[in-house]
Amino acid sequence: MGASENAEVVRRGYEAFNAGDLAALSELFAEDAVWHAAGSGALSGTKQGRDAILAYFGELGARSQGSFQAAVKDIVGGESHTVGIQRSRAENNGKTMDLATAIVFVLRDGRVVEGREYFEDTATADDFWS
């Protein structure tokens, strides 16, 4: 697949994520996909496999009482890497998070095989999710 097709897969992923459509997200991830969540907080670390990644996404929703949104600013497609640039916003127990975030996606055969999150301030993200 080319850069524009990869960007479209990532765009559909953002739409499914923000809609809470885990079934649609499941179709976009390879079964053996890996996700790297930045920082050293409660939700940080590597998630191995599609089920673990979807559980992580579910935890983001649960810990933010469903308020977490990834507001897409831009998607830059490449042949093997596609970058999603977003604002990550959520509320949790009186705390508010609003951070610039970039996620580097690796795609193969139209599916995400790896995701790597980068926050503008990992300490703020770690504190928010604690």
Give the CATH number, domain containing residue 41. Answer: 3.10.450.50
Are 98 and 107 in contact, with CB atoms under 8 Å apart?
no
Structure tokens at 50: 């599609």
Q: Which segments of 20-97 does DSSP mark as H helices, in order?
A: 22-28, 50-63
Look at strands 29-37 and 81-92 and give their pairing.
unpaired
Are 43 and 59 in contact, with CB atoms under 8 Å apart?
yes
Q: What pLDDT does residue 104 have?
A: 98
Residue-wise pLDDT tens digits, 26-44: 999 999 999 999 999 999 9
Counting the structural domains of the chain, the total is 1
What single-letter DSSP state applies at residue 38?
Answer: -
80 pLDDT band, cuts 50/70/90, is confident
CB-count burial class (<10 Å; 0-12, 13-18, 19+) for 101: buried
Span 121-130, average pLDDT: 91
Domain carrying residue 112: 3-129
Span 88-117, average pLDDT: 96
